[in-house]
């Protein structure tokens, strides 16, 4: 609806795959804001707004197990990519192949199940998420970062909303996604924005810039 590109092949959902989830996932941020909840979280008969203590519990529940959930998605993303990056003739045992990815991405022992046989995104065929499951997690980084602009300027700030519409939603695939993001935020994505939203890092002060880049780990 908001796309302004000339060609359908560069409009709407026809974008690069590690960018495609951003427009939709971004919308989810508003749902658990108190300012928004008070407009619809009401008793169906009396119209009474959800009590503040229950509202706070619902908001906090969103960050419950955030560390575990992040690790799980990272593990599945790396497993997905490993299957598509490997030489099939080198894989003799599914359990052993999966165990190598688990050791690099997980802190819990194997639970006896093989994720590769039940995780349908790995070989999703027409769904296009084969070797692309990571896009969900990367989109979380992007949407958390962009939403901080609304947290700073106001959930319904017209200027911020117009900038979002004119960049992310209107231009689609007519411009490289990283350029669109920089046009929206004025800089590259800040991965710490996701950790702040998940409660794994302290909240950013209003109008505070991106966190300083972390030093690169030494190369083996």
Mean pLDDT of 57-71: 93
The mean pLDDT value for 182-186 works out to 97
Which pLDDT does position 218 carry in this prediction?
44
CA 202/CA 121 separation, integer angstroms: 33
pLDDT value at residue 128: 72
Q: pLDDT band for 61, please (50, 70, 90 cuts).
A: very high
Residue 127 is predicted with a pLDDT of 61
pLDDT at 215 over 50: no
Q: Which of 31-35, 169-173, 203-207 is the least confident region?
A: 203-207
Selected residue with higher pLDDT from 87 and 126 = 87
Highest mean pLDDT among 11-20, 94-103, 107-116: 94-103
Buried b vs exposed e over 21-53: b needs ≥16 C-beta within 10 Å? bbbebbeebeebeeeebeeebeeeeeeeebeee
Exposed e or buried b per residue across 150-189, where buried means at least 16 C-beta atoms within 10 angstroms of its C-beta = bbebeeeeeebeebbeebbbebbbeeebeebbeebbeeeb
Per-residue pLDDT, 205: 72
More confident residue, 30 or 119: 30
Q: Is pLDDT at 43 greater than 60 in this prediction?
A: yes
pLDDT of residue 217: 42
Residue 126: pLDDT band with limits 50, 70, 90: low
């Amino acid at each position: 609806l908001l796309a302004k590109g000339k060609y359908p092949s560069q409009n709407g959902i026809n974008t690069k795959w590690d960018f495609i989830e951003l427009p939709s996932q971004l919308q989810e941020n508003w749902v658990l804001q108190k300012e928004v909840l008070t407009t619809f979280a009401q008793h169906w008969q009396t119209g009474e707004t959800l009590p503040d203590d229950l509202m706070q519990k619902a908001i906090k529940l969103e960050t419950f197990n955030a560390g575990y959930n992040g690790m799980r998605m990272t593990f599945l993303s790396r497993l997905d990519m490993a299957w598509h990056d490997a030489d099939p003739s080198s894989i003799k045992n599914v359990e052993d192949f999966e165990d190598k990815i688990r050791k690099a991405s997980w802190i819990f022992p194997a639970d006896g199940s093989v994720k590769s046989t039940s995780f349908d995104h790995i070989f999703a065929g027409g769904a296009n998420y084969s070797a692309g499951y990571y896009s969900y997690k990367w989109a979380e980084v992007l949407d958390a970062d962009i939403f901080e602009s609304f947290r700073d300027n106001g959930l319904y700030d017209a200027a911020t909303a117009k900038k979002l519409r004119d960049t992310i939603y209107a231009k689609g695939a007519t411009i490289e996604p990283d350029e669109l993001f920089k046009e929206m935020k004025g800089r590259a994505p800040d991965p710490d924005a996701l950790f702040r939203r998940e409660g794994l890092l302290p909240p950013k002060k209003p109008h505070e810039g991106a966190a300083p880049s972390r030093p690169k780990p030494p190369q083996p």
